[in-house]
Amino acid sequence: MNFLSKKQRRQVTIVSLIYISMIFLCCQFLFIRGISNLIPIYIFNISGDIFGMVMGYLVFVCCIIDVQKNGTDHRYFLYLLNAAYMGLFTDAVAWLVDGVEGLRVVNIIDNTLYYMCAPAEACFFWLYTMNYLKINKGVIQKFGKIIQIGFLISIGMRILNLVTGWYFIVDAQDIYHRQPLYPVSMLYPLITLIGALIAVGIKRKQLQTYQMVVFVIYAFAPMIVGIMTLAVYGLSLSAGVVMLDVLLMYCVLNVAQGKEKAVADRDLTLAADIQENILPKTFPYLPERKEFDLYATMNPAKEVGGDFYDFFMVDDDHIALVMADVSGKGIPAALFMMVARTLIRNRVLIGDSPAKALESVNNQLCEGNKAELFVTVWLAVISLSTGKGVAVNAGHEHPVIRRADGNYELVTYKHSPAVATIEGIPFREHEFQLNPGDSLFVYTDGVPEATNNENVLFGTERMMESLNKDPDAKPETVLGNMTKSIEAFVGDAKQFDDITMLGMKYFGP
């Protein structure tokens, strides 16, 4: 379960211990009672309960995995599943301890818990249904408050039964007996289920036929089975049927989410293709130009990312290089990235200096930026005939330069603020000189902040060591070495940030 978060692994471990302990407890009571002392119908009933508990445990683990995969809120479904599991456990124990001398208190407590399961299942089914249908307005919202108050009253009545014996008693011979007011205990679950079905009917247009059928089956199947087996003492299949219904609901949930996820995956794939194609990726770039060689890569943490690089000829003598990182991840960051890239490219191509270009782009991105995203940018324009460059670092990582026959070294200087943070701010330019044989390396924070399973960062020091393994290599080889170093360090840890790099070697005119 390495793909689960620590919180989810802890949750699965705790629930596993509880669920398995309850199954083990049933087996212990079975040992105390003795199989030879059980009539066949009891054995059939108890076996079905234990099988249902095992099935419920597997469904629970699958739900946790689904939450990790798609982030869907299964909270109320898990509550419903736990209530159904408790119903199976208490039903099995009830038959195992009934009539066993010395276990009267256990019999009373167990049946009290069993009686609590029906209203709990009904309440959680209501909450799950309303959450699934996204209904929380008007009459439905008011009825939902009544449902929750009714649940507390229903639980309170079952606790009072310990004193009053309204619904059931356990006599001096340790034998369970239903009381005449037993049917009253089923009023709350019945009213709640009918209310849920009415809500389903109101929202039927947004549901597929099979989804409606599942909701109806859950509401009526346990009731019908309960009525059919009412006259057969020792056979209580309602708890098992509830678990089967929960399993059916889970399957339907997966089918519905599977369709939605298929559409989302298709859209993400299309977005990833668009993003990949919007960035220049034809290498070597302008092979007829002998003044330079460059290479760039982007490895997004998700299907689409917020990092971007760019390079293009401003005129016959000047080349522009861009390395940028949008705050956030996924589709919003990718959209912001494409807008920012286009705006930066357009401003530079019309002749703006790096500082002037980012000033204009900053003001445009600040307008209507309700998502409050921003982008760190390193933008440089370099003369290929002289090697003279002008750069602006807007909150981005420090660039790295290697002088001919030397090693890569970090170039640090005061940054300007990130783009799209404050409207109207100026950006500071920094001049630098490339001589024949010099190399340049720019990157996003996904490189030094790559993290292994021990939460240790790759760091700037390891980055510099990787660059200097073969400092005179072609840019493609330098980036390849960096990628291998990061992968070896990170191992099988999940990538949490986009990793983007650009290398350029200057040969001179």
Sign of the CA dihedral with 273 first, then 275, 278, and 282 last: negative
- Full strand arrangement of the beta sheet holding 375-383: 307-313, 318-326, 375-383, 388-394, 429-433
**Predicted local distance difference test score (pLDDT) of residue 1:** 47
> Where are the chain's structural domains?
6-267, 279-506
**Predicted local distance difference test score (pLDDT) of residue 70:** 44
List the structure tokens of 27: 């087996």
Share of the chain above pLDDT 90, in %: 34
pLDDT reading at 382 higher than 90: yes
At residue 250, φ and ψ (nearest 5 deg) are -65, -40
pLDDT in tens, 64-83: 766 544 445 577 888 888 88
Cis before 284? omega within 30: yes
358 or 15: whose pLDDT is higher? 358
Highest mean pLDDT out of 230-234, 245-249, 453-457: 453-457
Q: Can you name the CATH fold of 6-267? A: Rhopdopsin 7-helix transmembrane proteins (1.20.1070)
pLDDT in tens, 283-321: 889 899 999 999 999 887 765 567 889 999 999 999 999
What Cα–Cα distance (Å) separates residue 121 from each residue in 76, 143, 175, 392? 10, 17, 26, 62
Supply the DSSP string of 318-373, one letter for each residue: EEEEEEEEESS-HHHHHHHHHHHHHHHHHHHHTT--HHHHHHHHHHHHHTT-TT--
pLDDT in tens, 115-135: 998 889 888 888 887 877 777
Mean pLDDT of the region 177-199: 83
- Whole-number Å distance between alpha carbons of 119 and 152: 9
Mean pLDDT of the region 197-212: 67
**Predicted local distance difference test score (pLDDT) of residue 324:** 92
- Whole-number Å distance between alpha carbons of 12 and 232: 38
**Predicted local distance difference test score (pLDDT) of residue 336:** 84
- Whole-number Å distance between alpha carbons of 418 and 396: 7
- Whole-number Å distance between alpha carbons of 498 and 457: 14
Q: Does domain 279-506 have CATH number 3.60.20.40?
A: no
| Nearest C-alpha neighbor of 486 from the set 261, 299, 359 | 299
Mean pLDDT of the region 475-486: 93
Does an H or E element contain 381, and which? Answer: strand 375-383
